Amino acid sequence: MTFGKLSPKKESEICLSCGECCKRYWITTLPEESKKISKKLKKKTAEFLKEDCVLLVKLYPKSVKGVLTFPTAFFPKRVVEELKKEIPELPQSFFVIPQVVLRREGTEQKACAFLLSDNKCDIYSARPEPCKLFPFIAVEGLRENYPFCGLFKSTYKDLLKQSRNYFKKVKKYFDLVDKKGFSSVWKDPPKTGYLYLNETKLCEITIDELERMVSAKKRK
């Protein structure tokens, strides 16, 4: 497929006529990104995390030890009950991915809270890295998942270097969570959020329940 090179103005026109990426996905923010957004909003970071973010915890069954792999035996009873609705025979451990994401608004949480009515971003200059890389984030097979994106259909950018730098930051973040615990990495994390099994939404989850699941001390 041949792609043409678009002017910044044309790229902006395509994005502003769509806004689907902001409507379809939870947008992850890392600790350093949350500070930039807080500054943009003229809020304290703790205030931003409380008012504009939620927890997003994804679980994947896993049978071998590794980073962010935690024994099911430590999971809260309510979480276990929700998991059993999908997997009657639970594995001994799960790969647990705890994230902080931007809050979504609208009917059934259909859009990022910072997406304005004209599809402009209210925090554009401080937006998280995934927003800057989309839809050209360099993950094999991932780019092809965005057939709805007009920019994807019209042009191509080689963002491999930028993607690699971002994934290094993500890896460092998860390594810290695994080593120190979620609330040591996030000083004032959101108190509530959502629990997923793979890509299936299970239920709401609290920070206390998450901490029981990923406590570094319990893994020793």
pLDDT in the model for residue 167: 92
**Cα 14 to chain center, whole Å?**
24
For residues 185 and 98, is the Cβ–Cβ distance under 8 A? no
- Sequence-ordered list of residues with C-beta below 8 angstroms from that of 76, at least 6 positions apart, any chain: 209, 212, 213
Q: How far is CA 38 from CA 23, 55, 70, in A?
A: 22, 17, 32
Q: Residue 133 above 60 pLDDT?
A: yes
Q: What is the mean pLDDT of residues 180-200?
A: 93
161 sits in the region (left: phi over 0; alpha: psi -120 to 50; else beta) called alpha
Q: Residue 144 above 90 pLDDT?
A: no
Q: Residue 63 above 80 pLDDT?
A: no
